[in-house]
Amino acid sequence: MQVHEIQSLELPELAPYRTMRRQWEQREQGIFVAEGEKVVRRLLESEFTVFSLLLPAKWLREYELLLRSRPEEIHAYVAEKKILEKLTGFSMYQGVLALGKIPPSPNLETILHTSARPRLFAAIDGLSNAENIGVLVRNCAAFGVQALLVSGNCGSPFLRRAVRSSMGAIFSLPVLEGIDLARTLPDLRARGLRCIAAHPRSDKRTLPQADFATDCCLVFGSEGSGISPEIVAACDQAVAIPMVCGVDSLNVGCAAAVFFYEAHRQRCAR
């Protein structure tokens, strides 16, 4: 670990922290920013590569043991919180940030080979809101989802806001980004996984009637239009959450939690 007291906000090494609002640029560079004390701690506890920290001195002392246990050399840039906020351009509750490296995406064969049965995967189609993606990732971790398949028309789970909303759960969930779901879902079905679309307008089956106890992949759609007709057609069935009249859908993060809980409940009952 190398500690640097910030003397200039224009240091080249601080560029990722100056450009935090340009999240897609950072995603294209294969890096991400972790924000908040708990998220940074979970990053340091993970196997992800960490390049640097940006934080007040008091937090550096909190992380000292974790930093000394890391295999790589990490640069810690230290300054008062008000200086850090001037650098980043916005107010921060704790003033704790870290820069990490996005790991290579595993391939589907590896995921299938290493996943215990009954397998439980999740897939997203057209989901663009970073906070919603992060919440869904956190729900995946909470209920034992083994992998998340992200279609090419989605936002990235490694955008700063998604990482923050996941509370660091993204560091323990295998993610396959840029997936062509129209081709991947039939492949999963051929391998014995039932693909179930979370569809609020399903008139055939509701959540209590569905079987989640065997290998399956649960598919969720965008905030506005839901799952595209092409992806619904690629699934084995569409399932809706039963709700009272007047409410036709839930936020995707809430809907995912309900589906994952039901899958977890059924699996624990067997």
160 in the Ramachandran plot: left (φ > 0), alpha (ψ -120 to 50) or beta? alpha
- Cα first-last separation, the chain: 48
Task: Kindly tell me if the per-residue pLDDT of 255 is higher than 70.
Answer: yes
Report pLDDT digits (tens) over 192-249: 999 999 987 656 688 989 999 999 999 999 877 889 999 999 999 999 998 887 677 7
**In this predicted structure, what is the pLDDT of residue 19?**
87
DSSP codes joined into one string, 117-171: SSPEEEEESS---HHHHHHHHHHHHHTT--EEEEETTS--TTSHHHHHHTTTGGG
Pairing outcome for strands 31-35 and 75-78 = unpaired
What does the pLDDT read at residue 77?
96
> Would you place residue 66 in the very low, low, confident or very high pLDDT band (cuts 50, 70, 90)?
very high
pLDDT digits (tens, 9 = 90+) for 2-20: 999 998 999 999 999 998 8
Class of domain 2-101: alpha beta
Q: What is the mean pLDDT of residues 33-54?
A: 96
In Å, what is the CA distance from 218 to each residue of 97, 163, 227, 238, 253?
33, 21, 11, 10, 13
pLDDT at 223: 73
- Is pLDDT at 135 greater than 70 in this prediction? yes
- The secondary structure of residue 90, as a DSSP letter, is S
Q: In what order do the strands lie in the sheet with 120-124?
A: 175-179, 147-151, 120-124, 216-220, 194-198, 237-239
Please report, for the chain, the start and end positions of each structural domain, with discontinuous segments joined by +: 2-101, 108-268
> Which pLDDT value is given to residue 94?
84
pTM, two decimal places: 0.93
Report the pLDDT value the prediction gives residue 203, as an integer from 0 to 100.
Answer: 61
pLDDT at 127: 95
DSSP letters for 189-249: HHTTPEEEEE-TT-SS-BGGGS--SSSEEEEE-BTTTBS-HHHHHHSSEEEB----TT---
Q: Residue 204 has what pLDDT? A: 67
Task: Please tell me the distance from the alpha carbon of residue 28 to that of residue 16, in angstroms, as a whole number.
Answer: 12
CATH architecture of 108-268: 3-Layer(aba) Sandwich (3.40)
In percent, the amount of the chain with pLDDT more than 70 equals 98
pLDDT in tens, 137-189: 999 999 999 999 999 999 999 999 999 999 999 999 999 999 999 999 999 99
Average pLDDT, the chain: 93
Reply yes or no: is the peptide bond before residue 118 cis, omega within 30 of 0: yes
CA distances from 166 to 71, 128, 171 (A): 25, 15, 9
Most confident residue range from 89-93, 97-101, 209-213: 97-101
Instruction: Give percent above pLDDT 90 in the chain.
Output: 81
CB atoms within 10 A of CB 143: 19
Cβ 88 vs Cβ 97: under 8 Å: yes
**For position 224, what pLDDT does the model report?**
79
* pLDDT, tens digit (0-9, with 9 covering 90-100), for 165-179: 999 999 999 999 999
Q: How far apart are CA 218 and CA 213, in angstroms?
A: 12
